[in-house]
């Protein structure tokens, strides 16, 4: 059974979705007015996700324990798994990530997988920067990416 709820965060309202005991989606900007808040949810996965995200935003948590099940291709899942291993406060370039997943020529494909990440923040795609530590895109927008990088004390270069 799929369940969903909202979470008020410093980044705006987040939509959390779970299925079969795992978190499957985290997104921004959806019409969520009809959903319960995470505090009202009876789903233990959604409540745990909300607790962990709140602790992360408060600066009290640097890693997540929530069980996740991102839906994607084999390649996308390999990229997301590599991102989950990237420690808090550290970054990686698209090219470095491509090398890590065994295809150093696939930086553009890695960028596509990063952009398709269904569980941002928990799968930390905000930590992926362009070459020379330059800011790249983000599904939640560059303002939110900057906020997440600041939260983790990560320095980056703005694009010229």
Predicted confidence at residue 31, as pLDDT, reads 64
The CATH code that applies to domain 2-57 is 3.30.160
Q: Which CATH number fits domain 74-151: 1.10.10.10, 3.40.50.620, 1.10.10.60, 3.40.720.10?
A: 1.10.10.10
Which residues participate in catalysis according to the annotation?
125
Place of tokens 């930590």: 127
Residues 60-69 have pLDDT tens digits of 999 999 999 9
Please choose, from the candidates 93, 91, 94, the residue with its C-alpha nearest in 3D space to the C-alpha of residue 155: 91
b/e burial code for range 88-117 (CB count within 10 A of at least 16 → b): eeebbbbbbbbbbbeeeebbebbbebbebb
Residues 108-142 have pLDDT tens digits of 999 999 999 999 999 999 999 998 888 888 888 89
Domain limits, the chain: 2-57, 74-151
What percent of the chain lies above the pLDDT cut of 90? 76
Q: Is the pLDDT of residue 157 over 90?
A: no
pTM value?
0.93
Q: Is the pLDDT of residue 160 over 60?
A: no
Using the 8-state DSSP alphabet, how is residue 35 labeled? Answer: S
Average pLDDT over residues 1-29: 92
Give Cα separations from 42 to 23, 37, 48, 81 (angstroms).
Answer: 14, 10, 11, 28
Residues 145-155 have pLDDT tens digits of 999 999 999 99
What percent of the chain lies above the pLDDT cut of 70? 94
Residues 71-88 have pLDDT tens digits of 999 999 999 999 999 999
- Please tell me if the domain spanning 2-57 has the same topology as the one spanning 74-151: no
């Amino acid at each position: 059974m799929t369940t969903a709820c909202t979470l008020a965060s410093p980044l705006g309202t987040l939509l959390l979705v779970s299925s079969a005991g795992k978190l499957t989606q985290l997104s921004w900007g959806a019409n969520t007015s009809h959903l319960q808040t995470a505090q009202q949810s009876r789903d233990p996965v959604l409540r745990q996700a909300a607790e962990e995200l709140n602790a992360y935003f408060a600066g009290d948590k640097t890693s997540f324990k929530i069980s996740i099940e991102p839906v994607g291709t084999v390649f996308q899942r390999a990229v997301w798994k590599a991102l989950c291993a990237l420690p808090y406060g550290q970054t990686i370039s698209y090219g470095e990530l491509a090398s890590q997943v065994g295809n150093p020529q696939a930086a553009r494909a890695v960028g596509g997988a990063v952009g398709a990440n269904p569980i941002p923040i928990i799968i930390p795609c905000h930590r992926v920067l362009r070459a020379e530590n330059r800011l790249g895109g983000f599904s939640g927008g560059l303002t939110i990416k900057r906020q997440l990088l600041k939260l983790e004390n990560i320095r980056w270069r703005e694009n010229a």
